[in-house]
C-alpha cells in the first residue's frame, strides 16, 4: 500500500530516518497542486517525462507570473542538479512534513524546466516599454517602433539600435523585447502556498560546485 506523502501542517514530531521515494508523476502532481495554491486563476501545464538516464517535469503557462516568481516555488521539487564544470549530475535531498512527522523524501524529477509564453498583449506592452525607454535612440536612428508581428516572425534578431546594442553580434532588439516581456509580471503578489510550506530542500551531495539552495 502506498503511503500518503501529501504535505501536512508542520508538527513537533521527530524526523524519521527512512527516506521515501516519490515517482516523477507523483512529484508532478505536487508541483501542480503547489502552483494552483500560489497562483489561483493561472492555467499551468505540468507534464512529467521519464527517460533512460532520469526524469524531468516541464511547466508551461502564458503571461501571469514571471519565472522569478515561479522558480523559487518549484525549486524544492528538483531532485538533482548538473555541474557543467565537472560534467557531473548531483543529488538534492528534501524534507516533507507529513501526518507521520518530518520525513526525508527523494523526488523523482531530476529537473524542472519552465516555459512562459507571451500573449500579443504582453508583447505589445514589452515593445512599448523598450521603445519609450530608448525613444531618443530610435529617433536618432530614424527607426520606428516595431510591431508584435515583427517580433513573432523573428525580424528583429538582426536589428540593432545604435547606443543600445553592439553593431557586430551580441544582443539585438529581439533580445531586449524578450527580456522586457520576461521580467514583467501580471501578478504583484504570490498567494501563500500551504503545500510548499511543508517541503524544503535540506542539502545537496556536497560537491564543490553544487548550486545554492533557493529561498523564497
Position 13 scores a pLDDT of 45
* Pairing outcome for strands 111-117 and 54-62: parallel
pTM (2 d.p.): 0.85
The CA radius of gyration of the chain, in Å to the nearest whole number, is 21
Position 10 scores a pLDDT of 46
**pLDDT tens digits for range 34-91:** 999 999 999 999 999 999 989 999 999 999 999 999 999 999 999 999 888 888 889 9
Mean pLDDT of 186-204: 92
Domain ranges of the chain: 19-117+187-204, 120-183
**pLDDT tens digits for range 93-147:** 899 988 878 899 999 999 999 999 999 999 999 999 999 999 999 999 999 999 9
Amino acid at each position: 500500500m502506498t503511503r500518503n506523502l501529501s504535505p501536512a501542517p508542520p508538527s513537533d514530531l521527530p524526523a524519521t530516518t527512512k527516506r521515501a521515494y516519490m515517482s516523477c508523476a507523483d512529484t508532478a502532481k505536487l508541483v501542480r497542486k503547489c502552483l494552483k495554491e500560489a497562483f489561483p486563476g493561472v492555467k499551468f501545464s505540468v507534464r512529467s517525462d521519464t527517460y533512460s538516464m532520469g526524469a524531468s517535469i516541464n511547466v508551461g503557462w502564458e503571461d501571469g507570473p514571471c519565472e522569478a516568481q515561479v522558480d523559487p516555488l518549484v525549486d524544492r521539487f528538483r531532485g538533482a542538479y548538473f555541474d557543467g564544470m565537472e560534467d557531473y549530475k548531483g543529488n538534492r535531498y528534501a524534507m516533507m512534513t507529513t501526518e507521520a512527522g518530518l520525513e526525508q523524501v527523494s523526488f523523482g524529477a531530476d529537473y524542472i524546466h519552465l516555459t512562459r509564453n507571451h500573449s500579443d498583449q504582453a508583447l505589445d506592452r514589452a515593445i512599448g516599454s523598450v521603445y519609450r525607454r530608448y525613444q531618443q535612440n530610435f529617433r536618432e536612428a530614424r527607426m520606428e517602433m516595431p510591431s508584435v508581428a515583427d517580433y513573432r516572425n523573428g525580424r528583429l534578431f538582426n536589428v540593432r539600435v545604435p547606443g543600445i546594442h553592439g553593431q557586430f553580434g551580441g544582443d539585438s532588439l529581439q533580445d531586449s523585447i524578450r527580456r522586457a516581456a520576461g521580467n514583467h509580471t501580471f501578478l504583484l503578489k504570490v498567494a501563500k502556498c500551504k503545500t510548499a510550506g511543508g517541503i524544503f530542500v535540506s542539502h545537496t551531495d556536497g560537491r564543490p560546485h553544487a548550486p545554492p539552495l533557493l529561498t523564497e
